[in-house]
Structure 1
Amino acid sequence: MRAPSSLLSVAAAILLAYPAATSALVTGHRHDVHRRDVGPPPASSAVPVPAPTVNPSHPQGGNPGPKDKLFRLNVINRLPADKPLYVYITGYDREKREGFIRPPADAAAGAQWFIPDARGEAQKPVLITEQLFQQVPGGGDPAKPKPLSLLLPTAIESGRIYFSESPLNFSTVLTAGDRPRSAVVAPSISDDQDPAAKISWGFVELTYKDETEVRDGGNRLYANLSFVDWVGIVLGMSVKPRPGSPGDPKTRIIPGLTGPGGQNPEKALGAICKELKDLGANDKRLAWWGELCVTGDKDQPLRILAPNIYNHPAKTRSPEFLKYWDGYVDKVWARYKDPKKPLRVNTQLQAGTGMEALNGTGATCDCVTGAGEAGSMRCSCPVIEGQGGGRDFTFARPATGDIFSCNTGAFAPVLDASEQKFRQLRARLCATFVRSTLLLPDELGSLTPNKAVTAKQYYSDVTTDYYSKVVHKYLKDGKGYTFSFDDVDPGTENAAGVIEMEDPQVMNVVVGGWVEGDEKLGMQE
């Protein structure tokens, strides 16, 4: 993501990063949209000022929904007693307005929306002064911590639940264009002037749709732990379905980070940093990976940046980083230049209908690389949706930043593209680069996604995304979102740890390290 050069580009960038109609998640096999990115830091001249806000006693956003359709969020704080926990919930309401979810005066009622109003402050971020957080005390009985419990509204689009050891600053800005709207500017770890850059925080992504938005009726939740931008505060989560709900009746658990040997999750950051720094001991070309580690005031591990966040034009980046993928891309271009031996990309969509291929194997595109440094990769695809002939798509040679972000250059989204197969191609091509499986022998490399290629073969090339590789190693079950298209799976492996559930009842998020049985905490009938 490029830093905005003017106040106008701040608003434009925010509009692209937070499209009102997009999902927070890229789940399953249909990649309709890109994941929601962290908002860019304001330009230096855009200093936040106290914000005009709506009256909190009359929160905008409408009725949160019937109580029997709401689902409960429990937040459990396992941080040390001297570390408070601040919780913020953002997203879009059913009218596609961006705002915050706050508990009502009556704890038994559903939480309500607070929609900030930029009040005409076009392209000028203004600080939201309303109290947006809920504080969850630590300490007490560690075996039975008291959770923060909220009934969430029935429609949350592109939602995030932020968890922080100190208060976070959110701003609002009026976007540019023919239909300006108030957008939320999230805190930034990339802006040294933002206090958030010096504290420990993270978030869970979720989207919750009710029966008015789900094609086959019912309520549906999508949620995941996000490590796409950095690893920081230790999180784990579970979701329990409502009794009698259709689909899988089991509680789903994604326990999150753990320390060496599966113990002491508080040591996970230190262990990941050590492995990244050790990469440069024998290969100086890999030494820059150690620069992803960020320390706090007392030299303790604070967070580990993902490569796409390390790739910030306002920061000093290693020259080795800027050309990191060049040699690998050269080998890929050399391997797939023969039309008789193309790279075959499985779109995982049924030909003719565009529906998900239930067994994971769908219509396949044949991709061949062009000659020379400027040569593109041309992918010939069969018809996916409707009738008629196939379609060719071209992808430029990706640069390092394109591969790590899956969102720029060769892998930039085409916002007005109607062809589902283009989005499927983009996701699968970038995922196979990040996981560096394109040079595996024979069909292991030349067909992607490929059920014959397991997670053990991901990241096996000397040129790979070591951030994703090492973070997955320290996830208790190996599941978590470490790059934008980590949800690309040959079948049902669920490398990204996405929880997709029909008719959920309770979601537990544990901060500070998951303990067996945490899915049972805070349960209410």
Structure 2
Amino acid sequence: MRLLAMATAAMALLAQSLAAPTARSLQRRAQVVHPGDAHDIIITDKNTVNATQKANGTMVPNIAPDGVILPLSFTNNFAGSVNAYVTGLDANNKLVLLQPNGQFYYPPRPSGGVPQLITANVAIPIGGRGNNAQISIPGYISAARIWFAVGNLKFYTVLDGNGNPSLVEPSSANPNDPNAGVNWGFVELTWNAAGVFANISYVDFVGLILSMSLAASGQTQYAGGLNSNAVNLICAALSRQASQDGQPWGDLCMADGSGNNLRVIAPIDYMSTNPGAWNGYYDNYINQVWSTYTNTPLIIDTQAGAGKVSCQVSGGVLYCNGDNRGYNKPSVSDIWGCNSGPFGIQGSDNDVHRAVVPRLCAAFVRTTLLLKGGNVQPSLPSTSYYTTGPTMWYSAFVHQYETSGIGYAFSYDDVNPNGENQSGAVSSAVPQQLSITVG
């Protein structure tokens, strides 16, 4: 009886852990971060912003095109004190960070080869839970991000090849980055003469939970972001998937020394330091796709002037009518990055090629090419995405735990049939206020 009771209790504990996973229960699989200093920074094209003109290190007064500014409102619904940061390039392509006084700060030219810490006051304090902060961006800004952190983020500069300061941003993928132990996230932003475009991106990682709204022309657009416990839920789902297919899905989670999950990184970023991961994962699927479309046309709806183009495999290469070149079989990294191998776009590529690449890659990421109706891309609804393996489970679980099901989980997540939206973007030519909520 005692053994039976012990077994029953053990099963109950197991069921409870599966139903309500905690950060601590998942730390066995998560990478534990060990924040370092400037010498531990790994510089890539994903965590740098390059200016095109030299900056003089001075602070300038509010400068806005035609007197127009972009009002921002930040609200903290998270249990912790939060700071905001705004980084990007101004209208003259100079590197800028927004100060809490509403003025742009232009970092001076750094010296030496080691990234230099920006010591100017560029943290915009929001404060604890329930607090709100309002500030305006005093001019056009591109390649911009609005960052939020529970605590303080560190930004650095290095010289680019032209002698200009290049911003080194926090890295989500480097467990030894100086910011690795901080819970943070960002919203991507472009504001220029055409208006505002902002989106919540999970292309590289899932971190601090954010949502946003854009007031414009008497209407409000919303992007709901993720469930408040999404990081733990996604980590639990990835861990279960790893136990099913033996792939390193659980290793995408990063935790602090106490076992608290901080973020989930995208597989393509994990593969940058673990190049052998998921080797052969798509091989059988790709072979089936190539076999299917050797005798059957694959129709790509360019959703542009070229209309629907017919594609077919010949001699091991997929060719599309009107396309300037064909497509070889992709690797798993080609699929998840959508910017290498057959999905790398060259300057000489024509409009048909530039339209086919995102639609073809999106179909591979979502594993829809062999589904009924998958011979036309894009045509299937989002309920058909990630329904069969092998697939990109990171993207699948991100969308599963989004409050509205939308928000970029890979670079071409805005590829959808007409009328559907998976991207989680807000935009307007006449913005009145961009509001972002933490938590």
Task: Report the residue type matching 1:233 in the other structure.
Answer: L
Q: Aligned-pair distance for 1:494?
A: 1.4
1:387 corresponds to which residue?
Answer: none
Among candidates 79, 83, 87, match of residue 86 of structure 1: 83
Q: Aligned-pair distance for 1:256?
A: 1.1
2:298 corresponds to which residue?
Answer: 343
1:163 corresponds to which residue?
Answer: 148
Unaligned runs of 5+ in 2: 1-38
Among candidates 118, 122, 135, match of residue 125 of structure 2: 135
1:366 corresponds to which residue?
Answer: 310
Q: Provide the secondary structure at the position in 2 that maps to 1:336.
A: helix
TM-score normalised per structure 2? 0.84
The alpha-carbon distance between structure 1 residues 498 and 417, as it changes in their structure 2 partners (threshold 3 A), is farther
Unaligned runs of 5+ in 1: 1-6, 22-51, 105-110, 140-144, 215-219, 259-264, 352-362, 382-390, 513-525
Q: Aligned-pair distance for 1:76?
A: 0.7
Percent sequence identity over aligned pairs: 31
The alpha-carbon distance between structure 1 residues 146 and 412, as it changes in their structure 2 partners (threshold 3 A), is same
Aligned equivalents of 2:51, 2:248: Cα separation in 1: 36
| Contact 2:173 2:265 (C-alpha < 8 Å) held by counterparts | no
Q: Aligned-pair distance for 1:368?
A: 2.0
**CA deviation string 1:120-160 (max 9, x = no partner):** 65x65322222221121113xxxxx3311111134111210
| 2:368 matches 1:437 | yes
Matches within 5 A, 1:90-129: 90-104=87-101, 111-119=102-110, 121=112, 124-129=114-119
Q: Aligned-pair distance for 1:183?
A: 1.6
**CA deviation string 1:253-310 (max 9, x = no partner):** 112111xxxxxx2x222111111111234x334x421221222222122111111111
| Contact 1:14 1:183 (C-alpha < 8 Å) held by counterparts | no
Aligned equivalents of 1:233, 1:15: Cα separation in 2: 18
Among candidates 203, 207, 220, match of residue 190 of structure 2: 207
Q: Aligned-pair distance for 1:231?
A: 0.8
The alpha-carbon distance between structure 1 residues 478 and 506, as it changes in their structure 2 partners (threshold 3 A), is same
Aligned equivalents of 1:395, 1:100: Cα separation in 2: 41
1:385 corresponds to which residue?
Answer: none
**CA deviation string 1:403-450 (max 9, x = no partner):** 111122222232x33633322221111111111111112xx1111111
| 2:221 matches 1:252 | yes
Q: Aligned-pair distance for 1:168?
A: 1.8
Q: Provide the secondary structure at the position in 1 that maps to 2:272.
A: coil
2:75 corresponds to which residue?
Answer: 76
Task: Report the residue type matching 1:474 in the other structure.
Answer: Y
| Contact 1:14 1:185 (C-alpha < 8 Å) held by counterparts | no
Q: Provide the secondary structure at the position in 2 that maps to 1:148.
A: strand
**CA deviation string 1:211-232 (max 9, x = no partner):** xxx3xxxxx1111111111111
Q: Aligned-pair distance for 1:19?
A: 6.7
Aligned equivalents of 2:232, 2:57: Cα separation in 1: 44
| 2:232 matches 1:291 | no
When the two structures are aligned, how many residues end up with a matched partner?
398
Q: Aligned-pair distance for 1:196?
A: 1.6
Among candidates 382, 395, 398, match of residue 455 of structure 1: 382
Among candidates 384, 388, 396, match of residue 328 of structure 2: 396
Aligned equivalents of 1:348, 1:257: Cα separation in 2: 29
1:36 corresponds to which residue?
Answer: none
| Contact 1:333 1:370 (C-alpha < 8 Å) held by counterparts | no
Aligned equivalents of 2:209, 2:133: Cα separation in 1: 17
| Contact 2:47 2:169 (C-alpha < 8 Å) held by counterparts | no
Q: Aligned-pair distance for 1:465?
A: 0.9
| Contact 2:213 2:221 (C-alpha < 8 Å) held by counterparts | yes
| 2:227 matches 1:272 | no
The alpha-carbon distance between structure 1 residues 316 and 413, as it changes in their structure 2 partners (threshold 3 A), is closer
| Contact 1:380 1:393 (C-alpha < 8 Å) held by counterparts | no
Matches within 5 A, 1:162-241: 162-176=147-161, 179-210=162-193, 214=194, 220-241=195-216
Aligned equivalents of 1:84, 1:316: Cα separation in 2: 37
Q: Provide the secondary structure at the position in 1 that maps to 2:154.
A: coil
Cα-Cα RMSD: 2.6
Aligned equivalents of 2:51, 2:374: Cα separation in 1: 37
Q: Larger strand proportion, structure 1 or 2?
A: 2
Aligned equivalents of 1:322, 1:75: Cα separation in 2: 43
1:409 corresponds to which residue?
Answer: 341
